Amino acid sequence: MFSELVSGCAVTTTDQFEHWWQLQGEWVEEPNRRRGGESGVQRLRDAQGHLLYAKRQVGHLCRSLSHPFGRPTVLRERDALLGLSRLGVRVPRLIYCDASYQEGQGWRGLLVSEALDGFSDIDSWYAAGGRERDGEQHVQLLQQIGATLARMHLGRWQHGCLYAKHVFVKVTAEGVEVALLDLEKSRRRLSRKRAALHDLQQLRRHSSWSDAEWQQVLSGYRRQWGRALPLG
């Protein structure tokens, strides 16, 4: 049994892994083949009725200089969730994460996180009329997105797959909140600038923001970053 524990969890055992693995729910992302294995996401409910998401992977490995033979991808995503949370970046709260190896079957990986209550991806928020309904808070929201990204990059974390659909937002009368999802390609970079340059260029290509809106994102980024923008 291979075990890498989530901070604050009880000692992980084979029985605990099997308990979580056997829980079944509705597929929100059907299993698909990636990285030489399968990966999918199910929606679950815990004993108290809280909504959870379980990422299930079989033979799904990532390779690096430190893990040339491969490491279960859920463990890299777990590292990112914990690392970003320590930096004050809102991400889904981690409930359980572990991986198990069995001869003849290979690796199974499981990551269970809590749903972000009241959040939606920003494209869905726009489609539901958020820009028109909450226009006065839109600039604040864009600047908060920028500040969130800068906070991540100052910790040398690179999201690695930063599309608008991975930026989740919550807008209420009390204010705006921003969270980041889908961190399985995230990693630490040697420099803040490398992390920032990759993500900012990628997000700009894969967002629907106008030039004026993008400048508001950069305005929030600049205030958090505190130095010349890392845009090449």
The amino acid present at 88, given as its one-letter code, is G
Task: For 114-172, write each residue's pLDDT tens digit.
Answer: 999 999 999 999 999 999 998 889 999 999 999 999 999 999 999 999 999 999 999 99
Task: For 165-195, write each residue's pLDDT tens digit.
Answer: 999 999 999 999 999 999 999 999 999 999 9
- What pLDDT was estimated at residue 194? 94
Is 202 within 8 Å of 166 (Cβ atoms)?
no
> Domain 14-114 falls in which CATH fold?
Phosphorylase Kinase; domain 1 (3.30.200)
Q: Reply yes or no on whether the pLDDT at 3 is more than 60.
A: no
Task: For 29-63, write each residue's pLDDT tens digit.
Answer: 998 886 568 999 999 998 888 999 999 999 888 77
CA distances 163 to 30, 134, 150, 222, Å, are: 20, 22, 16, 20
Q: Reply yes or no on whether the pLDDT at 8 is more than 60.
A: no
From CA 13, how far away is CA 98, in angstroms rounded? 10
Burial 64-91 (b: 16+ CB within 10 A, else e): eeeeeebbbbbbbbbbbbebbeeeebbb
Q: Reply yes or no on whether the pLDDT at 198 is more than 90.
A: yes
- What pLDDT was estimated at residue 102? 83
- What pLDDT was estimated at residue 62? 79
Whether pTM > 0.75 for this model: the answer is yes
From CA 166, how far away is CA 170, in angstroms rounded? 13
**In the chain, where the domains are located:** 14-114, 120-225
Mean pLDDT of 97-120: 92
> Domain 120-225 falls in which CATH fold?
Transferase(Phosphotransferase); domain 1 (1.10.510)
